[in-house]
Amino acid sequence: MWVKGRIPCSSAELNIDIVLQCGQSFRWKRDLINKSWQGVFSNKLWILKQGSSEISYEVLSSDAECHQTKVEKEQICNEELVDYFQFNVPLVPLYDAWSQADEKFKKLALRYQGVRMLRQDPVENVFSFICSSNNNIQRISSMVEHLCSSYGKQIAVYNGQKVYSFPELSSLMDESVERNLRTLGFGYRAKYIQKAAEIIEQRGGRSWLVNLRNVPYVEAKASLVSIPGIGEKVADCICLMSLDKTCAIPVDTHVFQIAKTYLPALAEKKSVTHRIYSEISIFFQELYGPYAGWAHTVLFSADLRHLKDPPEKAPKRGKNQQNNTVQKRKKNTRI
């Protein structure tokens, strides 16, 4: 059954259009007609819509909770949404502090308001980001969709489309997983996924992973990088996006380029070695403080091609230049 609700929220506290497509979660689909978003978390299908001073939602609540009263369901859904978007963390004061610390940030702050960190499920986060290595957002999204439709359970049919939960660890451990994922185009990541599931299960499964939330950042990161397919960057993504490590700075190729604008000495460096990685991480942590990872995501989002403003002076549809772009933009178009 559908449960509806709303949460007061200004556009400075959340910009849903950026947050749901800036590469944190790969499971959200935009509905341009209704100006809404659909996606899955907490094993439920959510339809979200941002108004000028609120987020309204409709959620398909699971059968397992059918004994609850309507009021109880509404309260649980509210809590789940607040937890997922971390609305208990006020973003505006953080933006103020980051703007004060950094002129470059200040210039982006108005255009990129409301970019906050989601608090994702650690299992989904781990396997999504194993897929992310040497890869682009579009392909990652399709791989995550494959994981769900092959190994998740169907939780709804919406607009004629089957909707799946993210798979349990135990579903990804089987020997057959690597072979199957290879046929689905996962490439060398297929083996990592199967092995990672195995090792996480050995260490205590989902609850072991979730408990890394209660472990210091350095220790949690060390645990993660010992899992196949997880290197330093992916470990930091997981720390930041699902393990409450707000200071973690994932240094990818984008952040490397951004860092060069702060640290000119980096210009001559060809690639991100561990040494450089650490240098860049520490620089941003000292610049922005304990929520440096959150600040980094604002810079990162502002740098993503599909989230940038179209060039001011460029003709909007006058040249053949746009003929390609029209198709390419179909999933990225802004309101």
Active site residues: 233
Q: Which is nearer to DNA, 24 or 165 (CB)?
A: 24
Rounded least distance, CB 25 to DNA, Å: 8
Q: Which is nearer to DNA, 98 or 129 (CB)?
A: 129
Stretch that binds DNA, among 80-88, 107-115, 207-215, 233-241 (CB under 7 A): 233-241
Q: Which is nearer to DNA, 60 or 225 (CB)?
A: 225
Site size for DNA, by CB under 7 A?
Answer: 44
**Interface with DNA in residues 14-73 (CB under 7 A):** 22-24
Residue 274 touching DNA (CB under 7 A): yes
Q: Which is nearer to DNA, 61 or 301 (CB)?
A: 301
Of these, 228, 263, 266, 322, which contacts DNA (CB under 7 A)? 228
Of these, 250, 259, 280, 294, which contacts DNA (CB under 7 A)? 250
Check residue 8 and give left, alpha or beta (phi > 0: left; psi -120 to 50: alpha): beta
Residue 305 touching DNA (CB under 7 A): yes
Of these, 34, 253, 261, 333, which contacts DNA (CB under 7 A)? 253
Residue 225 touching DNA (CB under 7 A): yes
Residue 182 touching DNA (CB under 7 A): yes
Rounded least distance, CB 3 to DNA, Å: 29
Residue 135 touching DNA (CB under 7 A): yes
Stretch that binds DNA, among 92-100, 156-164, 183-191, 203-211 (CB under 7 A): 183-191
Which residues bind to DNA, rule: CB under 7 A? 22-24, 129, 132-139, 142, 182, 185-189, 192, 225, 227-235, 237, 250, 252-254, 270-271, 273-276, 304-305, 328
